[in-house]
C-alpha cells in the first residue's frame, strides 16, 4: 500500500467500528441512567437537613470528584476481585463510571434543588406530600427541566469518556479502533474515522436529548 | 374551650423574633381576618399554624389538644385538617391545573381520579375557572392563578382554611364572588383565617378582625358589632383604605 492515506480497508471495517460505537453509547447510557438515580439519592441526602446520611453522601461526593476516574475504574477492576467480587471488564467500567458520574450529577442536582422556589417545598408540605412524593412529583421534574442542559452536557462528557474502557479490554469504539489500527497498520486513517464517529455520536446524542427536552 | 387556641405563641426567623407571645381563641366556622402593618407577624401566624415556621415558645391547641409539630405524624395529622392559599399562589408550573388540583387528593388521599373529576369541575365552577383545567399556571393571569390556588385548597375539604392575601390579584367582581364563597364555607363550619390588606373584604367578611403590631395582638374587634368602638382598628383600616 505504500505511503499516503488509504481509507478503503478502514471503511470496509466501518460496521465493526460502528458496533463499537453502539457499545460506547450503551455503556454511557446505562452509566448515566444509573448515575442519575444514585446522584438524585445523594443530592436529596445532602439537601435534606433531616437526613442522617448527609455526611456519608458528602464524603462520597468529595471522594469521587477528587480522585481520577481512571483510578476509580482500576479499583473496580483490580480491587473488587480481591474481595471475591469478580466482574467482567464491561461491568467494572460501568460501575466505575456510574459511581464517578453520580457524584458529579449530584452536584448538578443539588444546584437545581437549590434553585427550586421555596414556595414549591412549602406548598407540597402543606398539601401533605411526604418527602418521597414531594421529590418525585414536584422537585425532580422541576430540577430536570432547569438543569437539563447541564445534564445533557454531562452525558456527552460520559459518552466521550467511554474511551477509557478500551484500557480494560472493553470492545467499545476506541478499543476496536486500536485493534483495527494494529491489524491494518493504518493508525491515522482508523483514528481519523474514529474521531469523526465520536463527533457524530456526540452531536446526535446532544440533538436527540435536546429534542426530548419537551417531554421532561 | 375554643376550637382553636393560640397560647403565648412565639416564633422567630433566625435570631429575629416575629411573634412575641400571641394569645387568640378562634371558634369553629369563624372568619378571622388578621390585619396590620408589614412585618407585624400576620403571615407568620398562618405559617406556624400549619407547621411551616416552628414555634419557639407557647402552644397551639386544636379542639383542646396541643398540636404536635415535632413529629412527622403530628404534622401530617394537623395538615390533613387544613389547607393554605399562599400569597404567591404556590402552584406547580410543570403541572396542569387539573394535576395541581388532583395531586393531593390522589397522591396523599389515595382517592380514585375518576370520581374526583366531577368534584374538580364543581370547584372550578365555584371559582369561575371552568375550562382552564388543561392549562399550566404560566398560561394563566395572576387573578386566575389565585382562583386556582383557592380551588386547590377547596379540593382538600379543609376544616381550617388559611389564606394569605386571597383576593390581592382579583378584580372587584371576583372579590365579591370569592367573599360570597368564603362566607358559604364558613356557614358550613369551615374556619377561615385570612391575612388581608383589602379593608372592604375584611369589613364585609370577617366575624372578627385582629390587628397585629410588632408580633403581638394590638386589638380585636367584631366588625358586625363593635368595629367602630375600637379606635386602633378603625384608624388602621381607614389608613389602609386611604392608601388603596
Interface test with B, best of A119, A124, A126 (most B CBs within 10 A): A126
Q: In the 8-state DSSP scheme, what is residue A155?
A: H
% of chain B with per-residue pLDDT over 70: 97
Judge whether B87 lies within some domain.
no
Using a CB-CB cut-off of 8 Å, the residues of chain B touching A130 are 72, 76
Q: What is the CATH number of the domain that holds B10?
A: 3.40.50.300
B144-200 pLDDT tens trace: 999 999 999 999 999 999 999 999 999 989 999 999 999 999 999 999 999 999 898
Interface test with A, best of B51, B75, B88, B90 (most A CBs within 10 A): B90
Look at residue B159 in the predicted model and tell me its pLDDT. Answer: 97
Residues B194 and B142 in one domain: no
Lowest mean pLDDT segment, chosen from A93-97, A126-130, B234-238: B234-238
Residues in CB range of A210: below 8 A, 6 or more apart? A152
Residue with cell 392563578: B145
Q: Place B244 in a pLDDT band, splitting at 50, 70 and 90.
A: low
Residue A60 to residues A15, A25, A95, B56, B184: CA-CA distances in angstroms? 40, 26, 15, 35, 56
A residues 57-96 near B, CB within 8 Å? none
Q: Mean pLDDT throughout A164-188? A: 94
Task: State the Cα–Cα distance between residues A87 and A81, nearest whole angstrom.
Answer: 7
% of chain B with per-residue pLDDT over 90: 84
Look at residue B227 in the predicted model and tell me its pLDDT. Answer: 52
| Count of structural domains within chain B | 2
* Domain-ending residue, one of B156, B173, B204: B156
Judge whether B88 lies within some domain.
no
Residues B162 and B237 in one domain: yes
Judge whether B89 lies within some domain.
no
- Determine whether the interchain pair B80/A145 forms a contact, defined as Cβ–Cβ distance below 8 Å: no
The long-range contacts involving A48-53, CB below 8 angstroms and separated by at least 24 positions, are: A48/A131, A50/A131
A213 and chain B in contact, CB less than 8 A: no
A119 and chain B in contact, CB less than 8 A: yes
Whether domain A8-215 has CATH 1.10.3720.10 = yes
Judge whether B213 lies within some domain.
yes
Residues B135 and B173 in one domain: no
Interface test with B, best of A50, A118, A128, A214 (most B CBs within 10 A): A128
Q: Place B225 in a pLDDT band, splitting at 50, 70 and 90.
A: low
A202-215 pLDDT tens trace: 999 999 988 888 77
Instruction: Spell out the domain ranges in chain A.
Output: 8-215
Q: Place B81 in a pLDDT band, splitting at 50, 70 and 90.
A: very high
Task: State the Cα–Cα distance between residues B45 and B193, nearest whole angstrom.
Answer: 9
- Determine whether the interchain pair B79/A128 forms a contact, defined as Cβ–Cβ distance below 8 Å: yes
Residues B176 and B142 in one domain: no
Q: For residue B10, give the H/E element and its range.
A: strand B4-13
Look at residue A76 in the predicted model and tell me its pLDDT. Answer: 87
Q: Which residues of A157-187 are buried (b: 16+ CB within 10 A; e: fewer)?
A: ebbbbbbbbbbbebbbbbbbbbbbbeebebe
Residues B167 and B127 in one domain: no
Look at residue A52 in the predicted model and tell me its pLDDT. Answer: 77
Residues B181 and B139 in one domain: no
- Check: CB of residue B220 under 8 Å from CB of residue B211: yes
Look at residue A51 in the predicted model and tell me its pLDDT. Answer: 65
A28-51 pLDDT tens trace: 999 999 999 999 999 999 998 666
Closest by Cα among B191, B231, B186 to B211:
B231
Q: In the 8-state DSSP scheme, what is residue B9?
A: E
Q: Among partner residues A119, A129, A137, which is closest to B90 by beta-carbon distance?
A: A119
Mean pLDDT of chain B: 93
Residues B169 and B223 in one domain: yes
Residues B162 and B74 in one domain: yes
Using a CB-CB cut-off of 8 Å, the residues of chain A touching B107 are 129, 133, 137
What residues make up the domain containing B143?
Answer: 95-156
Q: Which residues are B209's β-sheet partners?
A: B33, B221
Judge whether B223 lies within some domain.
yes
Q: Mean pLDDT throughout A42-65? A: 89
Amino acid at each position: 500500500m505504500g505511503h499516503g492515506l488509504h481509507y478503503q480497508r478502514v471503511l470496509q471495517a466501518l460496521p465493526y467500528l460502528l458496533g463499537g460505537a453502539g457499545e460506547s453509547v450503551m455503556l454511557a447510557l446505562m452509566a448515566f441512567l444509573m448515575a442519575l438515580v444514585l446522584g438524585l439519592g445523594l443530592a436529596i441526602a445532602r439537601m435534606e437537613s433531616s437526613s442522617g446520611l448527609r455526611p456519608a453522601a458528602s464524603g462520597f461526593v468529595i471522594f469521587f470528584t477528587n480522585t481520577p476516574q481512571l483510578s476509580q475504574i482500576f479499583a473496580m477492576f483490580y480491587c473488587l476481585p480481591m474481595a471475591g467480587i469478580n466482574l467482567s471488564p464491561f461491568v467494572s467500567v460501568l460501575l466505575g463510571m456510574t459511581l464517578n458520574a453520580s457524584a458529579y450529577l449530584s452536584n448538578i442536582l443539588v444546584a437545581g434543588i437549590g434553585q427550586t422556589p421555596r414556595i414549591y417545598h412549602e406548598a407540597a408540605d402543606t398539601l401533605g406530600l411526604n418527602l418521597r412524593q414531594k421529590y418525585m412529583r414536584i422537585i425532580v421534574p422541576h430540577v430536570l427541566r432547569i438543569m437539563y442542559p447541564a445534564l445533557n452536557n454531562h452525558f456527552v462528557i460520559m459518552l466521550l469518556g467511554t474511551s477509557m474502557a478500551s484500557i480494560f479490554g472493553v470492545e467499545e469504539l476506541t478499543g476496536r479502533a486500536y485493534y483495527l489500527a494494529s491489524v491494518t497498520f493504518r493508525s491515522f486513517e482508523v483514528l481519523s474515522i474514529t474521531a469523526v464517529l465520536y463527533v457524530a455520536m456526540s452531536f446526535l446524542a446532544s440533538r436527540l436529548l435536546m429534542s426530548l427536552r419537551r417531554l421532561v | 374551650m375554643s376550637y382553636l387556641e393560640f397560647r403565648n405563641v412565639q416564633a422567630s426567623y433566625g435570631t429575629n423574633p416575629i411573634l412575641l407571645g400571641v394569645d387568640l381563641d378562634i371558634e369553629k366556622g369563624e372568619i378571622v381576618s388578621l390585619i396590620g402593618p408589614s412585618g407585624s407577624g400576620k403571615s407568620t401566624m398562618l405559617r406556624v399554624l400549619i407547621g411551616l415556621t416552628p414555634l419557639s415558645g407557647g402552644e397551639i391547641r386544636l379542639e383542646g389538644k396541643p398540636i404536635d409539630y415535632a413529629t412527622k405524624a403530628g404534622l401530617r395529622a394537623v395538615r390533613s385538617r387544613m389547607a393554605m392559599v399562599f400569597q404567591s399562589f404556590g402552584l406547580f408550573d410543570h403541572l396542569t391545573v387539573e394535576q395541581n388540583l388532583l395531586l393531593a387528593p390522589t397522591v396523599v388521599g389515595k382517592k380514585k381520579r375518576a370520581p374526583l373529576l366531577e368534584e374538580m369541575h364543581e370547584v372550578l365552577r365555584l371559582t369561575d375557572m371552568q375550562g382552564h383545567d388543561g392549562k399550566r399556571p404560566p398560561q394563566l393571569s395572576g387573578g386566575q392563578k389565585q382562583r386556582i390556588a383557592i380551588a386547590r385548597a377547596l379540593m382538600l375539604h379543609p376544616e381550617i382554611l388559611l389564606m394569605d392575601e386571597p383576593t390581592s390579584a382579583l378584580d372587584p367582581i371576583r372579590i365579591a364572588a370569592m367573599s360570597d364563597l368564603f362566607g358559604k364555607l364558613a356557614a358550613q363550619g369551615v374556619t377561615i383565617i385570612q391575612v388581608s390588606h383589602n379593608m372592604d373584604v375584611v369589613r364585609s367578611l370577617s366575624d372578627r378582625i385582629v390587628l397585629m403590631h410588632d408580633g403581638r395582638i394590638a386589638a380585636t374587634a367584631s366588625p358586625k358589632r363593635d368595629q367602630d368602638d375600637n379606635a386602633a382598628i378603625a384608624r388602621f383600616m381607614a389608613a389602609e383604605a386611604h392608601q388603596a
